[in-house]
DNA sequence: AAAAATTAAATAGTACACAAGTTAAAATTC
DNA sequence: GAATTTTAACTTGTGTACTATTTAATTTTT
């Protein structure tokens, strides 16, 4: 009769596992990122820009799955602390291009120390982390695909 | 030679995977929770209270890994829409106990339909979801344990 | 080429999250 | 048993996220 697990039990919720793991990462990153003077979402923007500089707000949003409502103020803060500059694209004035400053680029070297510290803190093997990552990305893409199906 | 670099990238990828999967869940839940008239974090509180009513703010926070700075305003909103009541504990006036109203309890029946819909949307098997959940919870607990070691 | 539609950012408003500090009550110490 | 410490919740301030709306620039249609 109670083969049926309690689907509303918190412990059974994959979404709570993702939610709380994501927050745990943020807390773990916080003291490490304090050295750089940035928050976790700001760090994500830097990761994207270190990979390819001069992206538009929209392109950054596509990589991080965030919209301009979130990114505009965030990028303004990064500009205010001198890590990047925001400039309208000459060829298309609707577009704002984000370019790292010298300081923004230089920060990359300091940031190299962060990932190994976090990986060590997870207490997981490389194989486990890889499997977890792949599972999460597949799950995430399925969730988002269904959301878009409905919109379209 | 570039084993090292791959590992560094992985650390960023696993946390971004958790971060973006968590947001994808929130977006997926949104239309489902709109029927209940609550947000995702509010829904988490209801899950906890459906499991055991009359918990203190602190006890809810321990289950959800949230502090009173987050919970107090959230619980006030749930009280404002008539799903619960907040009352000082007679025996210990520091403690605020949260009790579901009749409407708050009744909402559970409606909520039963949500987890299967979300599970289906993940496109993952029950076994996959279970493995993912367990991996995430283990990872999360490792991350938080290290944070506390430093504090203590 | 003027009108209509689309697009990219920005803005306004709501709701988390979290750190730091406050207040009031209870437990501990002396 | 008064003074100190601890505890629980609240409050304040900063920074995401997201919806919906607005503005300005570009495309597309006609």
pLDDT digits (tens, 9 = 90+) for B112-125: 999 999 999 999 99
Instruction: Please list every residue in chain B whose beta carbon sits closer than 8 Å to the beta carbon of residue A137.
Output: 17, 20-21
In DSSP terms, A86 is beta-bridged to A98
Instruction: DSSP letter for A56, please.
Output: B
Q: Is the pLDDT of residue B10 over 80?
A: no
Chain A: residue whose CA lies nearest to B116: A7
Chain A: residue whose CA lies nearest to B18: A22
Q: Are B44 and A18 in contact (CB under 8 A)?
A: no
Query: What is the reported pLDDT for B3?
Result: 59
Q: Is the pLDDT of residue B146 over 70?
A: no
Nucleotides of C under 7 A from a protein CB: 7-13, 15-21, 24-27
First to last CA, chain B: 38
The Å distance, CA of A65 to C1' of D30, is 37
Q: Is the pLDDT of residue A131 over 90?
A: yes
- Does B22 sit within 8 Å of A18, measured CB to CB? yes
Taking only the tens place, the pLDDT of each residue in A2-20 is 556 787 887 779 999 999 9
Q: Are A54 and A97 in contact (CB under 8 A)?
A: yes
Q: Which of B55, B52, B53, B50 is nearest to B106 (CA)?
A: B50
The Å distance, CA of B99 to C1' of D2, is 37
Least confident range from A132-141, B35-44, B77-86, B141-150: namely B141-150
Query: What is the reported pLDDT for B116?
Result: 92
CB atoms under 10 Å from CB of A25, counted, come to 25
Taking only the tens place, the pLDDT of each residue in B22-70 is 999 999 999 999 999 999 999 999 999 999 999 999 999 999 999 999 9
Q: Concatenated DSSP letters for A72-134?
A: HHHHHHHHHTTSEEEEE-SS-TT-EEEEE-HHHHHHHHHHTTHHHHHHHHHT--HHHHHHHHH
Whether B123 sits with its Cβ under 7 A from any strand D atom: the answer reads no
Residues with Cβ within 8 Å of residue B106, at least 6 apart in sequence = none
* Domains recognised in chain A with CATH numbers: 12-112 (1.10.10.10)
Taking only the tens place, the pLDDT of each residue in A52-95 is 999 999 999 999 999 999 999 999 999 999 999 999 999 999 99
Say how far apart CA A54 and CA A152 lie, in whole Å: 31
Q: Is the pLDDT of residue A152 over 50?
A: no
Whether B103 sits with its Cβ under 7 A from any strand D atom: the answer reads no
- In this prediction, residue B5 has a pLDDT band, given cuts at 50, 70 and 90, of low
Q: Concatenated DSSP letters for A7-19?
A: TT-GGG-HHHHHH
Work out the mean pLDDT of chain B and round it to a whole number.
92
Q: What share of chain B is helix, strand, coil (3-state, %, to 5)?
A: 70, 5, 20
Select from A18, A114, A147 the Cβ nearest to the Cβ of B18: A18
Whether A30 sits with its Cβ under 7 A from any strand C atom: the answer reads yes
Beta pairing class for A96-100 and B84-88: unpaired
- Residue B101: helix, strand or coil by DSSP? coil
Nucleotides of D under 7 A from a protein CB: 7-13, 15-20, 24-27
Q: Are A96 and A86 in contact (CB under 8 A)?
A: yes
């Amino acid at each position: 009769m109670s083969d049926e697990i309690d689907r509303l039990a918190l412990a059974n919720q994959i979404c709570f596992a993702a939610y709380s793991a994501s927050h745990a990462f943020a807390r773990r990153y916080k003291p490490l990122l304090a050295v750089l003077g940035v928050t976790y979402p700001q760090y994500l923007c830097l990761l994207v820009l270190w990979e390819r500089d001069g992206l538009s707000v929209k392109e950054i949003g596509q990589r991080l799955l965030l919209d301009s409502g979130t990114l505009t103020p965030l990028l303004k803060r990064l500009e205010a602390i001198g890590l990047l500059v925001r400039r309208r694209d000459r060829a298309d004035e609707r577009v704002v291009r984000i370019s790292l400053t010298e300081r923004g680029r230089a920060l990359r070297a300091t940031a190299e120390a962060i990932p190994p510290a976090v990986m060590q803190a997870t207490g997981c093997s490389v194989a486990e982390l890889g499997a977890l990552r792949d599972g999460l990305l597949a799950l995430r893409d399925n969730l988002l695909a269904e959301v878009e199906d409905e919109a379209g």
